[in-house]
């Protein structure tokens, strides 16, 4: 059985987040990825984007990945549907025209 070193996006982000917490720069993080994963590494621009995002989260404590007002609207809509019992026979939501 062979072991693959291929990582998915979430794993890349976790490693980038760890390196940001350790104080590494985007260039240092990119170099580490290239050394270990070669061509399978995320691009420098991807690493730089996530470094910027994680630094902002560490500074403010708020993620911009999904704005809070969108989550609030979606959850409010789902609660409304559940309370109203608006479902079709297959359990799906019936949308008004």
pLDDT by residue for the chain (97 residues), tens only, comes to 444 556 677 788 888 999 999 999 999 999 999 998 888 889 999 999 999 999 988 888 766 655 555 555 555 555 555 555 555 545 555 554 4
SS3 call for 64? coil
Examine residue 90 and state whether it is found in any structural domain, yes or no.
no
Examine residue 89 and state whether it is found in any structural domain, yes or no.
no
Query: Total domain count for the chain?
Result: 1
Q: What is the pLDDT of residue 61?
A: 75
Examine residue 3 and state whether it is found in any structural domain, yes or no.
no
Q: What is the pLDDT of residue 1?
A: 42
Cβ neighbours of 16 (radius 10 Å): 25
Examine residue 96 and state whether it is found in any structural domain, yes or no.
no
Q: What is the pLDDT of residue 51?
A: 94
Examine residue 79 and state whether it is found in any structural domain, yes or no.
yes
The domain containing residue 49 runs over which residues? 9-84
Examine residue 70 and state whether it is found in any structural domain, yes or no.
yes
């Amino acid at each position: 059985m062979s072991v693959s070193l291929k990582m998915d996006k979430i794993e890349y982000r976790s490693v980038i987040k760890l390196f940001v917490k350790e104080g590494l720069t985007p260039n240092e993080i990119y170099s580490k990825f290239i050394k270990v994963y070669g061509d399978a590494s995320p691009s420098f621009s991807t690493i730089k984007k996530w470094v910027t995002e994680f630094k902002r989260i560490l500074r403010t404590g708020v993620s911009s990945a999904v704005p809070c007002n969108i989550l609030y609207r979606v959850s409010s809509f789902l609660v409304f549907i559940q309370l109203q019992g608006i479902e079709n026979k297959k359990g799906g939501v019936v949308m008004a025209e």
